[in-house]
Amino acid sequence: MPLDLYYHPISPPSKAVLATAKYLNISINVKEVDLFGGETRTSEYLKLNPSHTVPTLVDNGFAMFESRAILQYLANKYAPDNTIYPKNPEARAQVDKILFFDASSYYASLSKAFIPILIFKKEASKEALDELAEKISILESLLGEQKFFAGENITLADISLGASVPVMKMFFKDMWPKKLESWYIRLSESVPQLPELK
């Protein structure tokens, strides 16, 4: 039975889950949710995901939300030997470090900067842009001279970060450094489900 993914195409975390599933050849039944029409706040949806966000994954009755946790679940259950989420504790900790930085720091700053533009048609504040610039600088430092964020192989960390790059480029193109663009090009060559950079 395929897994159900409650999804919206505007959501980078939704795209990360879909790209990971396709990369791992996991059959996914995509259910597009009307994010702006209140569908995530229905009683049925709130039973699956009380935080009324996307994505939500349902695997044979087991419901999960929070995209990075979903990525880890998919890798653990359906691709336990794949280097996308290494078994070695130190290597896995490197992936988790980037995933948690993405969730709590980089994507949070990106959202603070782009949501006013997208939803309210207002410019991002200088404070939000300064904070985002700092997080981008940290990403550059974390990548260093490696091919990918946790070493020489693509991992969940890369796909999670990669799903938000098109948003970054769309709204804040001048802030996106060439070093990270080169990383994204390498990543998208192997994970074609990620959008092309415009």
Domains and CATH numbers, the chain: 3-78 (3.40.30.10), 89-190 (1.20.1050.10)
Residue 198 has pLDDT above 70, yes or no: no
How far apart (Å, rounded) are the C-alpha atoms in residues 160 and 60? 24
| 111 among known catalytic residues | no
How far apart (Å, rounded) are the C-alpha atoms in residues 180 and 141? 10
pTM exceeds 0.85:
yes
Largest separation between any pair of C-alpha atoms in the chain: 48
Each residue of 50-93: pLDDT tens digit? 999 999 999 999 999 999 999 999 999 999 999 999 999 999 99
Give me the residues paired with residue 57 across strands.
5, 64
Catalytic annotation, pick one of 11, 160, 164, 188: 11
